[in-house]
């Protein structure tokens, strides 16, 4: 009897181990397979020119040529979105004189390296003022970082996203926040985004992009469950860039 029970438990253990390995493999393959591919506009923004130097290491780094920026922006990509899809946004920030860094996340999931900003901040000691932000899952994780690391960043941009309910920043007076969202977003619904207002400082600015959807905050194509935008990709990007530059001007007015 005991032998039979022992064999049964061993078989069960082997079965569970195999199931775990299969499940882990499926998850890794799913996470590592990007949702969409960088569009031509994104690929073009990755090229260095006389205004912006683009460097790829453990991050995509966009630096203004001929200027040592004193303020920087750290960008956390959306879940399973190729980081290159946000190159036009980062480039626009660099063209305005800021250092912009898109973090390359493990398996394209910002939740697997929420504190990635620490290494970026340490790498650039001459950058005195930082904002962090991100799109979708990246926005939620950027909010988590800002909430848990008071003093390390002075600005937060939450794009097509909202913080976890435990990330209460309402008492913070040292953090400028911009929440940017589209009225046609099918994943981060406007009512969900607006419903998180109580988690932010009173000075939060909500930027509502009429007709904007979820996918047009990056350049990676359409996304499942999203709604069709009623404004152009270029127009949504222009409004997003304007909101980010306004945030940077709030935290670094002399740059």
- pTM for this entry: 0.88
Q: How large is the average pLDDT for residues 198-218?
A: 98
| Residues 246 and 113: beta-carbon distance below 8 Å | no
CA angle 191, 31, 54 (to 5 degrees): 85
Q: How large is the average pLDDT for residues 57-63?
A: 96
Residue 219 tokens read as: 């350049």
In tens, the pLDDT along 169-180 reads 999 999 999 999
* Percent share of the chain, pLDDT over 90: 84
In tens, the pLDDT along 13-31 reads 443 333 332 233 333 333 4
């Amino acid at each position: 009897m005991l032998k039979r029970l022992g064999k049964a438990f061993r078989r069960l253990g082997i079965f569970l181990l195999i199931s775990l390995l299969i499940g882990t493999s499926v998850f890794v393959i799913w996470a590592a397979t990007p949702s969409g591919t960088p569009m031509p506009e994104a690929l073009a923004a990755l090229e260095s020119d006389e205004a912006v130097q683009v460097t790829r290491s453990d991050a995509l780094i966009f630096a203004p040529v001929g200027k040592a920026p004193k303020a920087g922006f750290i960008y956390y990509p959306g879940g399973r979105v190729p980081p290159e899809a946000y190159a036009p946004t980062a480039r626009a920030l660099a063209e305005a004189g800021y250092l912009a860094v898109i973090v390359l996340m493990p398996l394209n999931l910002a939740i697997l390296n929420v504190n990635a900003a620490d290494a970026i901040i340490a790498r650039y000691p001459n950058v005195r003022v930082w904002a962090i932000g991100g799109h979708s899952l990246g926005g939620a994780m950027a909010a988590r970082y800002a909430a848990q690391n008071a003093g390390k960043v002075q600005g937060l941009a939450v794009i097509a996203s909202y913080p976890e309910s435990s990330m209460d920043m309402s008492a913070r007076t040292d953090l400028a926040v911009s929440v940017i969202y589209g009225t046609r977003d099918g994943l981060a619904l406007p009512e969900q985004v607006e419903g998180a207002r109580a988690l932010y400082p009173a000075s939060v600015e909500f930027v509502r992009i009429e007709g904007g959807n979820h996918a047009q905050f990056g350049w990676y194509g359409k996304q499942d469950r999203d709604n069709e935008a009623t404004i152009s990709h270029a127009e949504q990007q222009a409004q997003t860039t304007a909101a980010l530059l306004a945030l940077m001007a709030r935290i670094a007015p002399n740059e």
